Amino acid sequence: MTLASQLFAALPELSSIEPLEFDEGAQRLVARGDARLEFDQTRVRADRITYYQEYGLADAVGNVAVTREGGRLIADRMSYDTQNSTFSVNVLRTGQWPYYISGVNAGGSTDEMEIEGATVYYGNPSPFGLNVSSEKVEYISGENERVKMHGATFRIGDFPFFYFPSYTYYVGTSPYYLDINGGMDSQLGTYLQTTTLFPVNSWLRVGANLDVYSKRGILAGPTAQYVYESSSQRIVGALSTGMINDNGSTDLDILNRPVDQDRAFAEWRHKHYIGERFTTTAQVSYWSDSDVTRDFREDYFNDNQSPDSFAEGVYAGDNYLISAFGRFRPNDFQIIQERLPEVRFDLLPIPVFNTGAYHRASISYGRLSEDLSDNVPGTADETEADRFDLTYRIERPILVKDWLTFTPLAGARLTQYDNQSMDASFPAFATLDDSFTREIYEVGFDLEARAYASYPTYNKTWDIDGLRHLVRPVIRYRYFSDPESLNEIAAVDRATFNLNRPILDLSDIRNVDSIAETHLVRLGVENLYQTRAEGYGSRTLAALNFYQDVLFEKNTRYDGDQEDTFNATWVELIINPAPWLKFDLASRFHTEELTLEELRTRTVITSGEIWELGLSTDLLNKQIDQYRLDFVYRLNERYAFLTDARFDADTGDFIRFSLGLRTRIGSTWEILYALTFREDARRESDVEFKISVKLAQP
């Protein structure tokens, strides 16, 4: 017994159902029947384990299972050197979701390992699972953990579809991406759309868009995604392109111009963080015509129907920002207010000595340009100007009571225009001077009150544990002085169609060239309802806000009518009392006539993981009156039924109605079968059948 205690004190922990056998001469210990060996947080189970004490060598045979830090390896036989932490195995299987590996032989250490005759599966191995077979796989851990494959054959089940002589996958990065759409359409014919991305190193994936349309031809173009991180910077971006010689009828673009047969698009997004202070952002959307993505990449078009291209660099100081912004016009079917470029300095709010006041300022220079020749008949010359813009604002918060704050404010905006030019076809600007200086002054105040109440409310159904109501009545007064004649300005930054609440602060207005005299009071009441969150903090149950603008200086409305004194009432409501119910509402009323001018709502009801119902409304008086109903019902873990209906109350028609069935093949593929009916679509067919195949994300 003394000898046994000394022996087990020196050995890894070894146990089995049958009694252990010890050969003192060979210093060998044998365990049979559910044998287990544990050392350094590693557990080995096998039918038989032989351990050689002198060499620190373990030999496991039969149904070998190795578990370490959540990872698991299965093999027929394994030899392990506990002193050098090296091993060799035969007929192995291992992995961790979503990757699984099988192989004939393997050996190495915990840092580096080689597998011969390997197959790497994405998701659970299945007859239609995505996998890569390789003659030899090298695994290297560390900062750039990676798997290098020699002779990599990409397969769906046992069917090969691509081959790389050498392929390296960096663990922790996104795997290869595959998106396939196929269907039948009267405009496109029978079609197949594909998008692929393959990792080429730890930060870059490249691939292609490759489509085939029976009525239109072949579309092709490179794709890429990149994410690079280091201790000093982070870069993220994506590129998607496509080119096609369109053999089908392409009709006219939004300007009623014939669409050229050679069509193309390019979408690039880029973000670069350097240190903690410098950031660059770029976006380029090149479309050869207004409908190229609508025809061949409907998802792109639905997300971004008015493409924009710009680049910006921003340096953030301790209390200031320095930026350079450029906006460009790569698409001739658009009217774009170009900045070539705009350089800006922003001083963030800082105290004015010990007065209790705060001030802020900005100064910018921009070269502005706008070309209307392709969009407005009879114009030939560009509208151009050099603009220097200086803003200043000072405010002094005064705490009248603990619950009441009064903040008087004043500001100014000085704008200098040089080298102005405008097309002579605009008679109002026929006498436009080369230079013009404009001054606008701002005075006003903010009066804010704060109050709250707490109630010992408890409701198990809504998961309410106490109720807190916060209310904030506000009065905001603003006056902008008359900017004199707007006909003296080559206006590029004009007011656009925007139904949101007007911006009140002079220095924040972006339609610099069309600022009008403003004199108003905005009355508002903001309400917030909260309850205790599980664990820590609070959870917002609802928010209800009311705003009313009272105008003392009236301008022209978006529909051409003059504004009223009580111009508009805004009501905003957000309700999220439980995870299964969400409701958003934004509305605008014509106050004096008590008519609803705008209403946007969204209601979502969810029944666990079984079904989800959504209802949306979109109402703009005399312009839009549409409704949308979308429904998802999960039949089981594999199948789900989807429907999406959109109704136009003005025409009395369902402008779009879709039925779909979503399913999964194994854990690798997600397939959507969809049938869509449209009414009076400008370019799409009235009936479309579509099959979409996507690589399921882990």
User: For the residues of 272-338, what is the DSSP string, one character each?
Assistant: EEETTTEEEEEEEEEESSTTHHHHH-HHHHHH-SS--EEEEEEEE-SSEEEEEEEEE---TTS---E
pLDDT at 194: 94
Q: Give the CA count within 13 Å in the CB-facing half-sphere of 609.
A: 4
495, 483 in Cβ contact below 8 A? no
pLDDT recorded at residue 427: 60
So what CATH class is 2-170?
mainly beta
Cβ atoms of residues 660 and 672 within 8 Å: yes
What is the token pair recorded at 444? 């006003």
Cβ neighbours around 474 below 10 Å, total: 17
- pLDDT beneath 70, residues of the chain: 1-12, 70, 110, 172-174, 424-431, 558-560, 697-698
pLDDT score at 535: 80
- Token couple for 494: 């004009």
This model's pTM is above 0.85:
no
Distance CA(615)–CA(160), nearest Å, equals 45
pLDDT, position 1: 25
For residues 307 and 287, the answer to whether their CB atoms sit within 8 Å is yes
pLDDT score recorded for residue 6: 30
Residue 157, both tokens: 């089940």
For residues 413 and 516, is the Cβ–Cβ distance under 8 A? no
Residue 172: the pLDDT is 67
pLDDT of 429 reads 60
Report which of 251, 244, 241 is spatially closest to residue 208, judged by C-alpha positions: 241
d(CA 193, CA 217) in angstroms, rounded, equals: 12
Region of 463 (left: φ > 0; alpha: ψ -120 to 50; beta: rest) is: left
